[in-house]
Amino acid sequence: MLDLDTLKAIDIHTHADGPCGTETYEDKRELAEGMQKYFGRAYEPQPIQTIAEYYRERQIGLVIFTVDSEHHMGHTRYSNEEVAQQAAENSDIMIPFASIDPHKGKQGAKEARRLVRDFGVQGFKFHPSTQGFYPNDRMAYPLYEAIAESGKPALFHTGQTGVGSGMPGGFGIHLKYSNPMFLDDVAVDFPDMPIILAHPSFPWQEEALAVAQHKPNVYIDLSGWSPKYFPPILVHYANSLLKHKVLFGSDYPVITPDRWLEDFDTLKIKDEVKPMILKGNAAKLLQLA
């Protein structure tokens, strides 16, 4: 269990990509090389234990997950069970989410219930563009029903993605699936399921802000971008109407928490709002406080 008194922040958005030598790593190698060009930095996926030690040194708690894109991308999924088990071994710093491709239908819903019941999974990650589905597609609803029953949050990638950016045909990835307005339907149909819109939602930032402002169960995480590139309207809403619903996220390993926090310090965020974004809002959402 995370000790909130000792933590400086909670990173709501980090990735457990299969480390070198795994089938997941080999499947994603070409795509990962393209992402490194997009983000302008070289990195290798690290074992979960190494990630835990990195964050523990910085006194930052983290939510960690893989992404299941087996149907659309054909990439072997890194095991949800392994992520959850290793997170349990580092429970002072780490919170496990899972990822299930919604194309798995009722079998995916069954898996979600099992992961919550038997492995302590605390939420679920979706990436509509790499999973190839509209979030409001009824195909995904059996899985959402299982998540809603658990009371756990569902985190959705929104906006443009660095995955496939600059590669021929975008590596088969369609941006249209990640318009946050599709999640307005999900928020209506599942009003008790917390929904996190991940990233500044370029080019649909105002849509994301509108959905989060209108629907009580919708939140925004700030991962995937350096804060110095945040649009002014996002900073304005984070400082005011959505100050209780905006969450720190880095998108590690593509952006490190060190880089994100350094740039965040340059934003004109009110002194009373900063601790809410960095830790307080996530603590309440994840029922840690």
Q: What average pLDDT score do residues 120-137 get?
A: 98
Mean pLDDT of 267-281: 97
Q: What is the pLDDT of residues 172-201, one digit of tens each?
A: 899 999 999 999 999 999 999 999 999 999
Give domain 4-285's CATH superfamily: Metal-dependent hydrolases (3.20.20.140)
Residues 6+ apart with CB under 8 A from 23: 76
Give the pLDDT confidence score for residue 27 in this predicted structure: 65
Rounded distance between C-alpha atoms, residue 6 and residue 206, angstroms: 35
Tell me the C-alpha to C-alpha distance, in Å, between residue 168 and each of 34, 153, 163, 177: 10, 34, 12, 19
- Please determine, for residue 20, whether its predicted confidence score (pLDDT) is greater than 70: no
**CA gap 34, 32 in Å, rounded:** 5
- Percent of the chain exceeding pLDDT 70 equals 96
pLDDT computed for residue 108 by the predictor? 98
Average pLDDT over residues 104-125: 98
Rounded mean pLDDT, 132-145: 98
pLDDT at 163: 83
Residue 75 pLDDT exceeds 90: no
State mean pLDDT over 194-212. Answer: 98
**Overall average pLDDT of the 210-225 stretch:** 98
Domains of the chain by residue range: 4-285
Q: Specify the pLDDT at position 87.
A: 98
Return d(Cα 170, Cα 163) in angstroms, integer.
8
pLDDT of residue 17: 84
The pLDDT value given to residue 25: 64
Pick from 93, 81, 88, 152: which is nearest to 123 by CA? Answer: 152
- In which element (H, E) is residue 8 found? none
Residue 277, SS3 per DSSP = helix
Average pLDDT over residues 223-236: 96
